Amino acid sequence: MDENRLPKGRRTLLGAPPPEAASGRELILASASSTRRELLAALGLPFRTVRPDFVETRPPSLAPADLAETLALGKASTVGKRFPEALVLGADQVLVIQGEIAEKPADEAAARAQLTRLRGKAHVLITGVALVVGSHVLRVEHEATRLTLRDFTDEELSRYLATGEWKGCLGSYRVEGQGLKLFSRIEGDLFNARGLPLLRVVNALHELGFPLF
């Protein structure tokens, strides 16, 4: 993947769900992420969160966008089996830097190494989203955002790491927090960079008949 070109989001319809497929159904967010929960809650939609009992596997043969969609669908499907009458939303994110998929940092040393590698360069965050009802897959999509970190100093890096904000974060930063100060440019959906492409989710819900108001 070329980080200098922003990949287009993809919308995949699997099967032919009726236009009111989501009407009258409970919405469940299949996620353990507090950020995704906060983003979805900001829309004022009624929903609840269920932690997916899903073991991630990352086949190296999958392209980043395909991997993000596969992981999102895995989360949604796992919860969909437990709540077959609900509309279940799953999401997962991958980070691509210089053609490689990055992992979350295990410790501060790993976070320092990752941010040092990202410094002054562009990378891409791809979020896969999936909507299912039981075993019926209604929608699988992804959104991509390109982010460029500025050439921050080693002292600035150390000060950011001292905040502890990077813990558990893909890319070793939290763009909705102090991590935003590390960036020079963000191209694309900022909500997507935070973990959930809200416009894409809203449009999918609307098209499937889920009431937005």
Q: Known catalytic residues?
A: 92
Element holding 113 (H helix, E strand): helix 108-118
Specify the residue for token string 């919405």.
Answer: 27
Q: Residues 22, 139, 147, 106: is their CA dihedral positive or negative?
A: positive
Other Cβ atoms within 10 Å of 204 Cβ, number: 21
Strands (E), the chain: 10-12, 27-30, 48-50, 87-97, 100-102, 122-133, 136-149, 183-187
The DSSP secondary structure of 45-77, one letter per residue, reads: ---EEE---------TTS-HHHHHHHHHHHHHH
Residue 5 CA to residue 123 CA, distance in Å, equals 10
Q: Which two tokens stand for residue 183?
A: 């960036």
DSSP assigned state of 17: -
Residue 56 CA to residue 38 CA, distance in Å, equals 23
